[in-house]
Amino acid sequence: MGNNFEDGNGKYVTEKGIHTNFDNNMTYGEYLQLDRLLSSQTRLSGHHDEMLFIVIHQVSELWMKMILHELNAAIDSIREGELQPAFKMLARVSKVQSQIIQAWDVLSTLTPSEYLEFREKLGQASGFQSYQYRMIEFALGYKTPHVLRIYQKDPELHSRLKEAYEAPSIYDVAIQQLSKAGFDINPELLKRDFSVTYEGDLSVKAAWVEVYRHVDQYWNLYQLAEKLVDIEDWLQQWRFRHMKTVERIIGHKMGTGGSSGVSYLKKVLDHRFFPELWDIRTEL
């Protein structure tokens, strides 16, 4: 090897410079477990475009894992009154959401004819069964009891979902912070059943109006409100792109998991996670 030698610190010194010796060190692929990750795209048909379908959904699930990681940490932070760290987490959630939205643009390159070549191989599998997406909805306050029944055959997963279902949402802990800031919040909201979807309350609306009218006095709460609006805005854009992509590929056919497809996706566009934060814009 000429003048090559190891310096004792895992580095090889050669005539061309210093290079890392990976014989005994973790590599990039090992750290990211790329063998497992890149061997998880198993096509059930021989059709070329099934790879696109699998990769898009797997990537989206990875991004959703990131969203949940940040959302749950933000909920804990807000509950403790530590709003500044939560703002960074929620800003990251919004950036991740933008990535998921763009994924629909890639999937929409799949034509109806191409999808029909492998659709039957999906069986009853459907994106409506994404438990991470349901946990995101739970974290944002949209609690639908029928969702839990989908996962009853997996006790461990069902238990995780039930815990998220019964936990306070990010809006619940935001309302708690309004109360701690001295606003006259309906006391029933502070001890309510968190497994019930929040529908809105005049006391919360009045509090947010004051926050927006006195931004300097309630700067942290104002920032929190705007971060929540960002997240709901991006989520609704995600829902819209989902609906239009499904309509573009399968029209108004029933979904593979038995869902009503496009009609269901259109209906959920009307749901609002943080209703007062939208209502007050008319009154300010």
What CATH number is given to the structural domain containing 192? 1.20.58.480
What is the average pLDDT across 9-36? 73
Q: Contact 41/51 with Cβ under 8 angstroms?
A: yes
Is the domain of 25 the same as that of 92? no
Same domain, 132 and 29: no
Task: Looking at the structure, tell me whether residues 187 and 83 fall in a common domain.
Answer: yes
Residues 59 and 126 in one domain: yes
- Find the range with the poorest average confidence among 47-56, 125-134, 184-193, 269-278: 125-134
CA distances from 65 to 34, 36, 136, 243, 268 (A): 17, 17, 9, 22, 22
In this prediction, residue 11 carries a pLDDT of 54
User: Do 178 and 237 sit in the same domain of this protein?
Assistant: yes
- Decide: pTM greater than 0.95: no
- 225 contacts 85 by C-beta, under 8 angstroms: no
Q: Say if residue 82 is in the same domain as residue 148.
A: yes
Using one digit for the tens of pLDDT, what is the confidence trace for 105-129?
A: 999 999 999 999 999 998 878 777 8
Out of 49-53, 132-136, 183-187, 268-272, least confident range: 268-272
Contact 234, 241 (CB under 8 A): no
- Looking at the structure of the chain, the number of domains it has is 2
Token look-up 């209502």 returns 279
One domain, residues 147 and 203 = yes
- 30 shares its domain with 130: no
What range defines the domain where residue 263 resides?
47-283
Q: Which of 211, 210, 169, 214 is nearest to 192 (CA)?
A: 169
Q: Are 58 and 176 part of one and the same domain?
A: yes
Instruction: Report residue 6's pLDDT band, with 50, 70 and 90 as the boundaries.
Output: low
**129 and 257 both lie in a single domain:** yes
Pair 91, 71: CB distance under 8 Å: no
Among 244, 266, 183, which Cα is nearest to 217's? Answer: 183
137-151, 192-206, 223-237: lowest mean pLDDT where? 137-151
Same domain as 103, residue 74: yes
For position 212, what pLDDT does the model report? 98
41 residue type, one letter = Q
Q: Let me know whether 248 and 271 are in one domain.
A: yes
Query: Residue 211: which residues within 8 A CB-CB, separation 6 or more?
Result: 178, 218, 221, 222, 225
Q: What is the Cα–Cα distance from 196 to 211, expressed in whole angstroms?
A: 26
Residue by residue, DSSP assigns 101-142 as HHHHHHHTTS-HHHHHTTGGGGTT--GGG-HHHHHHHHHHT-
pLDDT band at 1 (very low <50, low <70, confident <90, very high): very low
Spacing of C-alpha 178 from chain mean position: 25
Of 132, 51, 54, 115, the C-alpha closest to 253 is 115
Contact 86, 78 (CB under 8 A): yes
Q: Which tens digits make up the pLDDT trace of 63-75?
A: 999 999 999 999 9
Q: What is the mean pLDDT of the chain?
A: 91
**Interval 218-232 mean pLDDT:** 98
